[in-house]
Amino acid sequence: MPDWRDRILKALTPGVARLTLAVDSDGLLLEAALLEAIRERGFEVVTFDDPVAFRFDYESRFRSRWDRGEGAGLELVVRTETRDPAALPYDLLQAGRRLFFGLDDLFPAFSYPVVASLDRSDLDALYRAQERHRPGRLGEDATRDFVLRHVFDFAPELVRRPSDLLRLLLRRHYRGQRLPRLLDERVAHLLRQGGAFTAWSLEAILPDRDAFFAFLQERWPLFLDRLAGNAGNGGPQDAEGTPGLAIGGPVDLPFDHDDVRVYIDNLFVEGMLRPVGHESGTALREAWAAVGIRIDPEADRRRRLRRLAETVGATIPGADANHRDWTAFAFRWAELGVLLSETAAAARADTGSLLAGLRATRADTGSSITGLRADVDRAFLAWVERRYAGLHNQPPAPPVMVHHLPRFLARRLADDPRCKVALLVVDGLALDQWLVLRDVLAIQRPELRFREGAAFAWVPTITSVSRQAIFAGKPPFYFPSSLLTTDREASLWTRFWADRGLTVREAGYARGLGDGSPDGIRELLSRPKIRALGLVVDKVDKIMHGMTLGTAGMHNQVRQWAEEGFMAGLLDALLDDGFAVFLTSDHGNVEAEGCGRPAEGAIADVRGERARIYPDAALRSRVKERFPDAVEWPGPGLPEDCLALLAPGRTAFVREGERIVGHGGVSLEEVVVPMVEIGRAAA
């Protein structure tokens, strides 16, 4: 069946005009699959939002080549969100044809605000339902009901019991499904019709995945009490009067219902819920609920390791997946990495040596994990080669790539003039190392709450490329003169905020953090009026570059560093001062084995362990002849003279047989990094 993309693609016929002005106020051209199809037709899509940045891009990449008679077949779509011709450059209006794309044309039967609130990936299901059912003109509530039923499979008449509601919530949050506020409000209204579910805190647990898992976690011990026969009358109760429950709602949840158990089992296996100790744990060790009870740490760990490896192997996203599929998978992959390290640590306790513990773990799990790792690497590389080029054009809410974060924060400030934001960049922090850091912080500061997500770093995943992009709020293409250094980060950060109306005094920046105490940050915070603060913690990167014991050694060192309390103290300082805190990383890292060092002299601009950067294609090709499996990165979003050669697989450009922990390549661990909002539980 033709979909909504086909209607847009028909208008973009190659060879008609080399410059097309596309009025796209609904962001349709940024949808990943459509953007890929447009690029396959030979078009390049550039968004006109920042006039200065656009002019630099347009003149250097397009018009200069056209004027020289080059770029045959080079066709440009300039995407704009305004219909006002006066807002566009005159030379573009004279040279280009104009097209208009909008949701109101594609979905005329529905209420526009409802359709506009949907993620563009949800339009496929809506378009199919529209073609199948041919609804007449629908108002807002009728549109919301239609979308809920046909796009999100929500049938309110089937949600009658607590187990039905719990299953609905589990299915949604396990998949990481997000609904617009307009739809969440409608779901809550429909569920409460007739007085049902009035005790449930739907406003908290419907939209917020982390709040829902916290809701389950704090009720799990009470369920175990009931399962063990220690829960009094065992009937449903209100949260009032029950100590330790931060989120309101019924105390007694039907975890043991058949439709619920399968989700609960997966949540414990994948680390979204944490097992707890229980006085009846031994008696319950044969029950299904044993997955959520700490009984025998070693047996529990190995059982979970086996189950999680099976789950990871069965859920590797394919080439047609969207970026959210990979960020969700990345958390499972990170959990598996942490669990492997914990197994190595347990073996170390028996052998007295971390190295011996690593060897014991590899001997026990090596073949299966090695094969699984190869499957993940192949699938991710295939996906990246197909879809990565379109990520930097995505809307910044929520951020998809790390350079989207400043624009996301700017929107937060625009929405609330009293707000202050702090962007905390932990240099080199991989997603699995974030999980280690998070668990230590949760012990040190139980009141902290983490709203976890992930974003894509820039490739090559080196600091001067990806971290600068974060503080510039732009792709690396826009700072070619400083691409190989980080010295201009402060000025890039200040310029970003100056373009959005903040003064120099309102934008702060500091780097080189991670040791000692955060007292210096408190001095920075004492400056009046500061509203946007950028901080670089480089301790993890320093640990990485001295690491000889692989991923497990990284986890061990990150845990020890976290236990020293610097990060907890830094978060205290920021939260005490009223900042909304966001943590991310410029790149992750991966354990790699040497494949040989290129004998290239001084021809490479960057001679990294996982990536080399060359000023022209001939030099790069010369080195690739010796390393035929290396990846010649096509360089979307990079300056034309930034040509990267990436080490193949999990290898590095170091002496053969040498093992390192490094970054620069395109593995899942290096590219998908944490993006976390950190706050405190409401008092």
Residue 461: CATH number of its domain: 3.40.720.10
- Identify the H or E element spanning 594: strand 590-594
Return the minimum-mean-pLDDT range out of 143-157, 452-466, 515-529, 658-672. 515-529
pLDDT of res. 152 = 95
Q: At how many degrees (to 10) do helices 431-444 and 550-563 cross?
A: 30
Highest mean pLDDT pick, 53-57, 119-123, 460-464, 602-606: 460-464
Return the minimum-mean-pLDDT range out of 71-75, 356-360, 421-425, 527-531. 356-360
The two beta strands, 75-80 and 19-23, are parallel
Pair 567, 478 in one domain: yes
Pair 498, 599 in one domain: no
- Identify the H or E element spanning 114: helix 112-116
Q: Cα dihedral sign for 420, 426, 427, 432?
A: negative
Would you give the distance in Å from CA 669 to the centre of its chain?
12
pLDDT of res. 396 = 79
- Is residue 402 included in any domain, yes or no? yes
State the chain's mean pLDDT as an integer: 89
Length of the chain: 683
Query: How far apart (Å, rounded) are the C-alpha atoms in residues 635 and 426?
Result: 25
pLDDT tens digits, one per residue of 519-534: 878 888 887 789 999 9
> Could you tell me which residue, 579 or 517, shows the higher pLDDT?
579
Tokens of 241: 């009067």
Pair 423, 561 in one domain: yes
Pair 437, 569 in one domain: yes
Contact assessment for residue 186 and residue 148, using Cβ atoms and an 8 Å cutoff: yes
Domain holding 533, by residue range, is 390-589+669-680
Pair 596, 527 in one domain: no
C-beta neighbour count of 596 within 10 angstroms: 16
pLDDT of res. 239 = 41
Q: Which amino acid is at 569?
A: G
At 603, is the pLDDT very low, low, confident or very high (cuts 50, 70, 90)? Answer: low
Pair 501, 607 in one domain: no
The number of domains in the chain is 3
Residue 57: CATH number of its domain: 3.40.50
The two beta strands, 631-632 and 659-662, are unpaired
At 232, is the pLDDT very low, low, confident or very high (cuts 50, 70, 90)? Answer: very low
Pair 438, 402 in one domain: yes
For residue 604, is pLDDT > 80?
A: no
What is the reported pTM?
0.90
Pair 460, 539 in one domain: yes
Beta strand segments in 43-144, E: 43-47, 75-80, 97-100
pLDDT of res. 90 = 87
Measured CA distances, 520 to 364, 527, 537, 566 (Å): 46, 12, 13, 12
pLDDT tens digits, one per residue of 255-287: 999 999 999 999 999 999 999 999 888 888 888
Query: How far apart (Å, rounded) are the C-alpha atoms in residues 660 and 591?
Result: 6
For residue 86, is pLDDT > 80?
A: no
352-366 in b/e form (b: 16+ CB < 10 A) is eebeebbebbbebbe
- Comparing CA positions, the residue from 195, 674, 57 lying closest to residue 426 is 674
- 476 secondary structure, DSSP code: G
- Identify the H or E element spanning 584: strand 579-584
Pair 559, 596 in one domain: no
Cα end-to-end span (Å), the chain: 53
For residue 238, is pLDDT > 50?
A: no
At 2, is the pLDDT very low, low, confident or very high (cuts 50, 70, 90)? Answer: low
- Is residue 122 included in any domain, yes or no? no
Pair 585, 673 in one domain: yes
pLDDT tens digits, one per residue of 89-103: 888 888 888 999 999
Pair 573, 625 in one domain: no
Tokens of 199: 């005790």
- Is residue 51 included in any domain, yes or no? yes
pLDDT tens digits, one per residue of 346-379: 665 555 555 555 455 555 555 578 899 999 999 9
Return the minimum-mean-pLDDT range out of 15-19, 162-166, 380-384. 15-19
- Is residue 243 included in any domain, yes or no? no
Query: How far apart (Å, rounded) are the C-alpha atoms in residues 139 and 137?
Result: 7
pLDDT of res. 233 = 42
Pair 433, 580 in one domain: yes
Query: How far apart (Å, rounded) are the C-alpha atoms in residues 489 and 423?
Result: 13
